[in-house]
Amino acid sequence: MSERASDIRSIPIAAITILNPRSRNKRVFQELVTSIANLGLKKPITVSRRTDGSGYDLICGQGRLEAFVALGQAEIPAIVAEVTEEDCFVMSLVENLARRQHSPLELVREIGALKERGYSTAEIARKTDFSVEYIWCICFLLENGEERLINAVERGVIPHTIAMEIAKAGDADVQGALAEAYENKALPGNQLLAIRRIIEQRKISGKAGHSGSRGGGARVRVTADSLVRAYRKETDRQKLLVKKAALAQSRLLFVVNGLRRLLADEHFVTLLRAEAMHTLPRPLAERLGVAGA
């Protein structure tokens, strides 16, 4: 994207169009108006001249422009950059994203605006200086997330990575339940695999039919409490599985050590031969390191 800036010139405010208008904090805006009124404009705005000569598009400086309007000014100092309308739009979005304090709502909307204009995830990441993974997550949520989930990300209640895992559930009830469980701190956010496992369990139970219902397979609404119970049940099941595995391992170790001692006894080996017991199960033979499995 080529950009050539000319000297600062005075531009009629009425001829300037704001491509990406955004709301601002009233207190901060009033401080800006007071500063300009007392000290003057420290930095000119940046605009782009439209190709049809009908006016200018604002690239950056919406706050300064609106402050001049509030002060009753008809013109404002501006740098005129020679860029295309498409580049002007992108530059304006990037300028908004580059601000130190931007709300999650603005972030989501502006990344979505770039996506709608046909930019790829990699292109958006390059233009906005965010990671490709982050941009992909935001676009995924915009395409697949339900309203409550998007709102939670916008409010900063749920991180985008957690929200993406929740959005993979597809079902709006499951999404809402997972979002509620996370917001209530009932599900740990650092265990994404556990959340994904709950989601998959819900999908499987949904495909298994409605064998437990009498009303012709009436669908039971998924709630945050039910997901938490499922999570805890799965956690207890896995803990029990680990205990059983540890018990089986200790018993196997006992058997192997016992057999090793017995096989070291020549009288016991002679007895086995007399009873025509010449072989061992392969797993035991491999653990004992003897032939004849």
If you compute the radius of gyration of the chain from its CA atoms, what whole number of angstroms results?
34
Residue 249 domain-assigned (yes or no) = yes
Its domain, for residue 247, covers 240-288
- The residue with greater pLDDT, 82 or 74, is 74
pLDDT of residue 207: 47
pLDDT of residue 12: 93
Say if residues 68 and 77 touch (Cβ distance below 8 Å).
Answer: no
The CATH number covering residue 22 comes to: 3.90.1530.10
How far is the C-alpha of 228 from the C-alpha of 132, rounded, in Å? 32
Token duo for residue 166: 């929740």
Mean pLDDT of the chain: 76
How far is the C-alpha of 218 from the C-alpha of 37, rounded, in Å? 67
pLDDT of residue 29: 84
Distances (CA, A) of 247 to 15, 241, 242, 244: 80, 10, 9, 5
How far is the C-alpha of 45 from the C-alpha of 62, rounded, in Å? 8
Q: Which of 24, 55, 84 is the last residue of a domain?
A: 84
How far is the C-alpha of 64 from the C-alpha of 73, rounded, in Å? 11
**pLDDT over 80 (residue 127):** no
In the chain, the number of structural domains is 2
Residue 96 domain-assigned (yes or no) = no
Q: H-type helices in the chain, by residue range?
A: 26-39, 62-70, 85-97, 104-116, 121-128, 132-144, 147-154, 160-167, 172-183, 192-207, 224-263, 266-274, 282-288
What are 45-59's pLDDT values in tens digits? 988 888 887 888 888
Residue 274 domain-assigned (yes or no) = yes
Q: How far is CA 26 from the centre of its chain?
A: 31
Residue 40 domain-assigned (yes or no) = yes
What are 228-281's pLDDT values in tens digits? 777 777 778 889 999 999 999 899 888 888 888 888 888 988 888 888 887 888
pLDDT of residue 75: 93
Q: Which of 56, 84, 112 is the last residue of a domain?
A: 84
Q: Which of 84, 115, 139 is the last residue of a domain?
A: 84
